[in-house]
Protein backbone atom coordinates (compact mmCIF):
# COMPACT_ATOMS: atom_id res chain seq x y z
CA UNK A 1 0.00 0.00 0.00
CA UNK A 2 1.25 3.49 -0.94
CA UNK A 3 0.60 5.62 2.12
CA UNK A 4 0.27 9.39 1.54
CA UNK A 5 3.38 11.39 2.34
CA UNK A 6 3.30 13.87 5.20
CA UNK A 7 3.71 16.67 2.64
CA UNK A 8 0.58 15.46 0.81
CA UNK A 9 -1.43 15.38 4.01
CA UNK A 10 -0.22 18.86 4.90
CA UNK A 11 -1.11 20.14 1.42
CA UNK A 12 -4.66 18.77 1.66
CA UNK A 13 -5.20 20.42 5.03
CA UNK A 14 -3.71 23.67 3.71
CA UNK A 15 -5.96 23.73 0.62
CA UNK A 16 -9.07 22.92 2.61
CA UNK A 17 -8.30 25.65 5.13
CA UNK A 18 -9.56 28.11 2.49
CA UNK A 19 -12.87 26.24 2.05
CA UNK A 20 -16.04 28.30 1.68
CA UNK A 21 -19.46 27.75 0.12
CA UNK A 22 -18.69 29.70 -3.08
CA UNK A 23 -15.50 27.75 -3.70
CA UNK A 24 -17.32 24.51 -2.89
CA UNK A 25 -19.90 25.11 -5.64
CA UNK A 26 -17.25 26.29 -8.10
CA UNK A 27 -15.07 23.21 -7.71
CA UNK A 28 -18.04 20.82 -7.59
CA UNK A 29 -18.99 22.08 -11.07
CA UNK A 30 -15.44 22.36 -12.41
CA UNK A 31 -14.47 18.85 -11.35
CA UNK A 32 -17.08 17.44 -13.78
CA UNK A 33 -14.65 18.23 -16.60
CA UNK A 34 -12.79 15.13 -15.43
CA UNK A 35 -15.93 12.99 -15.53
CA UNK A 36 -15.67 10.49 -18.44
CA UNK A 37 -19.44 10.69 -19.01
CA UNK A 38 -19.12 14.33 -20.10
CA UNK A 39 -16.64 13.39 -22.83
CA UNK A 40 -18.70 10.38 -23.86
CA UNK A 41 -21.55 12.84 -24.48
CA UNK A 42 -19.21 14.88 -26.71
CA UNK A 43 -18.20 11.67 -28.47
CA UNK A 44 -21.88 10.91 -29.15
CA UNK A 45 -22.39 14.41 -30.55
CA UNK A 46 -19.43 13.96 -32.91
CA UNK A 47 -20.53 10.50 -34.01
CA UNK A 48 -24.06 11.63 -34.86
CA UNK A 49 -22.63 14.66 -36.63
CA UNK A 50 -20.86 12.29 -39.02
CA UNK A 51 -17.38 12.78 -37.54
CA UNK A 52 -17.09 9.13 -36.60
CA UNK A 53 -13.31 8.91 -36.56
CA UNK A 54 -12.99 11.83 -34.14
CA UNK A 55 -15.56 10.20 -31.88
CA UNK A 56 -13.77 6.84 -32.13
CA UNK A 57 -10.36 8.13 -31.04
CA UNK A 58 -11.80 10.38 -28.35
CA UNK A 59 -13.60 7.40 -26.82
CA UNK A 60 -10.46 5.29 -27.21
CA UNK A 61 -8.59 7.87 -25.12
CA UNK A 62 -11.25 7.63 -22.40
CA UNK A 63 -11.19 3.82 -22.60
CA UNK A 64 -7.45 3.48 -22.02
CA UNK A 65 -7.50 6.11 -19.29
CA UNK A 66 -10.19 4.07 -17.51
CA UNK A 67 -8.30 0.82 -18.09
CA UNK A 68 -5.06 2.21 -16.67
CA UNK A 69 -6.83 3.60 -13.60
CA UNK A 70 -8.58 0.27 -13.08
CA UNK A 71 -5.23 -1.53 -13.34
CA UNK A 72 -3.23 0.71 -10.99
CA UNK A 73 -5.71 1.47 -8.21
CA UNK A 74 -5.82 -2.09 -6.78
CA UNK A 75 -2.04 -2.38 -7.16
CA UNK A 76 -1.25 0.84 -5.29
CA UNK A 77 -4.11 0.26 -2.81
CA UNK A 78 -3.87 3.83 -1.49
CA UNK A 79 -7.01 4.74 0.39
CA UNK A 80 -8.83 7.98 -0.28
CA UNK A 81 -8.67 10.83 2.26
CA UNK A 82 -10.66 9.82 5.34
CA UNK A 83 -13.86 11.76 6.00
CA UNK A 84 -13.00 12.06 9.69
CA UNK A 85 -9.72 13.82 9.00
CA UNK A 86 -10.49 15.79 5.83
CA UNK A 87 -13.47 17.64 4.44
CA UNK A 88 -14.85 15.16 1.89
CA UNK A 89 -17.41 16.83 -0.40
CA UNK A 90 -17.63 14.06 -3.01
CA UNK A 91 -17.96 10.33 -2.42
CA UNK A 92 -16.81 8.07 -5.24
CA UNK A 93 -18.76 4.80 -5.42
CA UNK A 94 -16.57 3.04 -7.98
CA UNK A 95 -13.46 2.58 -5.82
CA UNK A 96 -12.16 3.11 -2.30
CA UNK A 97 -8.68 3.60 -3.74
CA UNK A 98 -7.27 6.91 -4.92
CA UNK A 99 -4.00 6.40 -6.84
CA UNK A 100 -4.16 7.45 -9.62
CA UNK A 101 -7.10 9.85 -9.82
CA UNK A 102 -9.59 8.83 -12.50
CA UNK A 103 -10.75 12.41 -13.10
CA UNK A 104 -7.15 13.59 -13.42
CA UNK A 105 -6.28 10.77 -15.81
CA UNK A 106 -9.33 11.52 -17.95
CA UNK A 107 -8.78 15.28 -18.23
CA UNK A 108 -5.04 14.71 -18.75
CA UNK A 109 -5.84 12.26 -21.54
CA UNK A 110 -8.23 14.67 -23.22
CA UNK A 111 -5.67 17.48 -23.01
CA UNK A 112 -2.92 15.24 -24.39
CA UNK A 113 -5.13 14.02 -27.23
CA UNK A 114 -6.14 17.53 -28.29
CA UNK A 115 -2.69 19.05 -27.70
CA UNK A 116 -1.81 19.34 -31.40
CA UNK A 117 -5.23 20.79 -32.17
CA UNK A 118 -4.77 23.75 -29.78
CA UNK A 119 -3.22 27.02 -30.80
CA UNK A 120 -0.53 28.44 -28.49
CA UNK A 121 -2.87 30.58 -26.37
CA UNK A 122 -5.45 27.81 -26.25
CA UNK A 123 -2.82 25.38 -24.95
CA UNK A 124 -2.07 27.70 -22.06
CA UNK A 125 -5.77 28.12 -21.29
CA UNK A 126 -6.29 24.38 -21.51
CA UNK A 127 -3.40 23.75 -19.14
CA UNK A 128 -4.90 26.16 -16.58
CA UNK A 129 -8.23 24.31 -16.77
CA UNK A 130 -6.51 20.94 -16.35
CA UNK A 131 -4.61 22.19 -13.30
CA UNK A 132 -7.81 23.56 -11.78
CA UNK A 133 -9.55 20.21 -12.27
CA UNK A 134 -6.61 18.47 -10.60
CA UNK A 135 -6.72 21.01 -7.77
CA UNK A 136 -10.49 20.47 -7.40
CA UNK A 137 -9.97 16.79 -6.57
CA UNK A 138 -7.77 17.74 -3.64
CA UNK A 139 -10.02 20.59 -2.53
CA UNK A 140 -13.10 18.33 -2.58
CA UNK A 141 -11.33 15.69 -0.47
CA UNK A 142 -11.40 12.97 -3.13
CA UNK A 143 -7.62 12.67 -3.57
CA UNK A 144 -4.18 13.61 -2.37
CA UNK A 145 -1.95 15.79 -4.52
CA UNK A 146 0.20 12.81 -5.57
CA UNK A 147 -2.87 11.00 -6.92
CA UNK A 148 -3.79 13.82 -9.28
CA UNK A 149 -0.22 14.50 -10.45
CA UNK A 150 0.34 10.85 -11.33
CA UNK A 151 -3.09 10.60 -12.98
CA UNK A 152 -2.64 13.79 -14.97
CA UNK A 153 0.78 12.72 -16.29
CA UNK A 154 -0.34 9.20 -17.19
CA UNK A 155 -3.44 10.61 -18.84
CA UNK A 156 -1.40 13.07 -20.89
CA UNK A 157 0.85 10.24 -22.13
CA UNK A 158 -2.22 8.19 -23.07
CA UNK A 159 -3.68 11.15 -24.99
CA UNK A 160 -0.43 11.73 -26.86
CA UNK A 161 -0.22 8.01 -27.71
CA UNK A 162 -3.78 7.91 -29.05
CA UNK A 163 -3.07 11.04 -31.11
CA UNK A 164 0.00 9.30 -32.59
CA UNK A 165 -2.10 6.22 -33.44
CA UNK A 166 -4.74 8.46 -35.00
CA UNK A 167 -2.12 10.06 -37.25
CA UNK A 168 -0.68 6.66 -38.14
CA UNK A 169 -4.10 5.47 -39.26
CA UNK A 170 -5.12 8.82 -40.72
CA UNK A 171 -6.28 7.22 -43.96
CA UNK A 172 -8.73 4.84 -42.29
CA UNK A 173 -12.12 5.26 -43.92
CA UNK A 174 -13.89 2.99 -41.43
CA UNK A 175 -15.51 0.96 -44.16
CA UNK A 176 -16.01 -2.78 -44.09
CA UNK A 177 -12.74 -3.73 -45.75
CA UNK A 178 -10.52 -1.40 -43.71
CA UNK A 179 -11.97 -2.46 -40.37
CA UNK A 180 -11.18 -6.08 -41.15
CA UNK A 181 -7.64 -5.16 -42.27
CA UNK A 182 -6.66 -3.09 -39.21
CA UNK A 183 -6.35 -6.10 -36.93
CA UNK A 184 -3.73 -4.45 -34.72
CA UNK A 185 -5.96 -1.49 -33.92
CA UNK A 186 -8.99 -3.67 -33.29
CA UNK A 187 -6.92 -5.96 -31.03
CA UNK A 188 -5.70 -3.00 -28.98
CA UNK A 189 -9.27 -1.78 -28.48
CA UNK A 190 -10.39 -5.25 -27.43
CA UNK A 191 -7.50 -5.49 -24.96
CA UNK A 192 -8.53 -2.19 -23.40
CA UNK A 193 -12.12 -3.38 -23.11
CA UNK A 194 -11.01 -6.66 -21.50
CA UNK A 195 -8.92 -4.78 -18.94
CA UNK A 196 -11.83 -2.46 -18.20
CA UNK A 197 -14.22 -5.37 -17.81
CA UNK A 198 -11.81 -7.13 -15.46
CA UNK A 199 -10.68 -4.20 -13.34
CA UNK A 200 -13.32 -1.47 -13.52
CA UNK A 201 -16.97 -1.30 -12.62
CA UNK A 202 -18.67 -3.88 -14.86
CA UNK A 203 -21.53 -1.56 -15.77
CA UNK A 204 -19.30 1.24 -17.05
CA UNK A 205 -16.95 -1.17 -18.82
CA UNK A 206 -19.92 -2.71 -20.62
CA UNK A 207 -20.69 0.76 -21.97
CA UNK A 208 -17.35 0.73 -23.78
CA UNK A 209 -18.12 -2.74 -25.09
CA UNK A 210 -21.43 -1.48 -26.47
CA UNK A 211 -19.80 1.58 -28.06
CA UNK A 212 -16.96 -0.22 -29.85
CA UNK A 213 -19.07 -3.23 -30.70
CA UNK A 214 -21.53 -0.82 -32.30
CA UNK A 215 -18.77 0.91 -34.28
CA UNK A 216 -17.58 -2.30 -35.89
CA UNK A 217 -21.08 -3.70 -36.40
CA UNK A 218 -22.20 -0.48 -38.13
CA UNK A 219 -19.23 -0.57 -40.49
CA UNK A 220 -19.28 -4.30 -41.11
CA UNK A 221 -22.85 -3.79 -42.32
CA UNK A 222 -21.30 -1.34 -44.82
CA UNK A 223 -23.22 1.63 -43.45
CA UNK A 224 -22.11 5.26 -43.27
CA UNK A 225 -23.51 8.32 -41.56
CA UNK A 226 -24.26 11.38 -43.65
CA UNK A 227 -22.59 14.57 -42.38
CA UNK A 228 -25.26 17.05 -41.44
CA UNK A 229 -25.37 20.73 -40.55
CA UNK A 230 -27.92 23.32 -39.54
CA UNK A 231 -31.44 22.35 -38.53
CA UNK A 232 -31.14 18.71 -39.64
CA UNK A 233 -28.08 18.23 -37.44
CA UNK A 234 -29.74 19.67 -34.35
CA UNK A 235 -32.89 17.63 -34.86
CA UNK A 236 -30.78 14.48 -35.13
CA UNK A 237 -28.75 15.40 -32.03
CA UNK A 238 -31.81 16.25 -29.93
CA UNK A 239 -33.56 12.99 -30.80
CA UNK A 240 -30.35 11.04 -30.17
CA UNK A 241 -29.74 12.57 -26.76
CA UNK A 242 -33.40 12.12 -25.81
CA UNK A 243 -33.08 8.42 -26.50
CA UNK A 244 -29.72 8.25 -24.73
CA UNK A 245 -31.19 10.07 -21.73
CA UNK A 246 -33.95 7.50 -21.46
CA UNK A 247 -31.39 4.69 -21.44
CA UNK A 248 -29.23 6.50 -18.85
CA UNK A 249 -32.23 6.55 -16.50
CA UNK A 250 -32.16 2.74 -16.58
CA UNK A 251 -28.51 2.74 -15.44
CA UNK A 252 -29.69 3.97 -12.04
CA UNK A 253 -31.34 0.60 -11.40
CA UNK A 254 -28.61 -1.79 -10.27
CA UNK A 255 -30.47 -4.87 -11.54
CA UNK A 256 -30.11 -3.77 -15.19
CA UNK A 257 -27.23 -1.30 -14.84
CA UNK A 258 -24.67 -3.25 -16.90
CA UNK A 259 -27.18 -4.00 -19.65
CA UNK A 260 -28.29 -0.36 -19.74
CA UNK A 261 -24.72 0.91 -20.09
CA UNK A 262 -24.12 -1.57 -22.91
CA UNK A 263 -27.30 -0.40 -24.60
CA UNK A 264 -26.23 3.23 -24.19
CA UNK A 265 -22.92 2.55 -25.91
CA UNK A 266 -24.61 0.61 -28.71
CA UNK A 267 -27.24 3.35 -29.07
CA UNK A 268 -24.52 5.92 -29.78
CA UNK A 269 -22.70 3.99 -32.49
CA UNK A 270 -25.15 1.47 -33.91
CA UNK A 271 -28.83 1.49 -32.95
CA UNK A 272 -29.58 5.18 -33.42
CA UNK A 273 -27.29 5.80 -36.46
CA UNK A 274 -28.67 2.72 -38.23
CA UNK A 275 -32.25 3.71 -37.44
CA UNK A 276 -31.68 7.29 -38.54
CA UNK A 277 -29.97 6.31 -41.79
CA UNK A 278 -32.78 3.91 -42.69
CA UNK A 279 -35.39 6.60 -42.08
CA UNK A 280 -33.34 9.15 -44.04
CA UNK A 281 -32.95 6.74 -46.97
CA UNK A 282 -36.70 6.04 -46.99
CA UNK A 283 -37.48 9.75 -46.96
CA UNK A 284 -34.99 10.32 -49.76
CA UNK A 285 -36.54 7.56 -51.85
CA UNK A 286 -40.07 8.89 -51.22
CA UNK A 287 -38.98 12.41 -52.18
CA UNK A 288 -37.40 11.11 -55.39
CA UNK A 289 -40.70 9.54 -56.40
Half-sphere exposure of 146 (CA within 13 A, CB side): 17
Q: Is residue 267 part of a domain?
A: no
Query: Residue 257 — pLDDT band, cuts 50, 70, 90?
Result: confident
Q: Which residue has the higher pLDDT, 227 or 50?
A: 50
Q: Determine the pLDDT at residue 206.
A: 79
Q: Is residue 255 part of a domain?
A: no
Q: Determine the pLDDT at residue 229.
A: 78
Q: Determine the pLDDT at residue 151.
A: 95
Quote the number of domains for the chain: 1
Q: Is residue 259 part of a domain?
A: no
Q: Is residue 97 part of a domain?
A: yes
Orientation angle between helical segments 52-76 and 145-168, nearest 10 degrees: 140
Q: What is the mean pLDDT of the chain?
A: 83
Looking at residues 216-227, what average pLDDT do you find?
A: 75
Q: Is residue 238 part of a domain?
A: no
The Cα 84–Cα 74 span in angstroms is 23
Q: What is the pTM of this model?
A: 0.85
Q: Is residue 209 part of a domain?
A: no
Determine what percent of the chain is predicted with pLDDT higher than 70.
82
Q: How far is residue 261 CA from its own chain's centroid?
A: 13
Domain that holds residue 143: 6-203
Contacts of 96 (CB under 8 A, 6+ apart): 79, 80
The Cα 278–Cα 89 span in angstroms is 47
Q: Is residue 105 part of a domain?
A: yes
Query: Residue 189 — pLDDT band, cuts 50, 70, 90?
Result: low
For residue 288, pLDDT beyond 70: no
Under 8 Å between Cβ of 159 and 68: no
Q: How far is residue 258 CA from its own chain's centroid?
A: 17
Q: What angle do CA 185, 190, 194 make, to 5 degrees?
A: 150
Which letter, b or e, does each residue of 73-110 get, where b requires 16 or more Cβ atoms within 10 Å of its Cβ?
beebebebbeeeebbbbbebeeeebbbbbbbbbbbbbb
Q: Is residue 188 part of a domain?
A: yes
Amino acid sequence: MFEPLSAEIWFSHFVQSFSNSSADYFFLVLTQLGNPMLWIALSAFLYWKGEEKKSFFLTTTILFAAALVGLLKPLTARLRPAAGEFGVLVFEKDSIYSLPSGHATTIGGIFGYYWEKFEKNAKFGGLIIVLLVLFSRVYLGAHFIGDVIVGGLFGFLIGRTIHFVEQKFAKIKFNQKRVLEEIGLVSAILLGIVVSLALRDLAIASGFLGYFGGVFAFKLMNMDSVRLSGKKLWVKEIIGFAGLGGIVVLTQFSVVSAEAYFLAGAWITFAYPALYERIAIKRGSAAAH
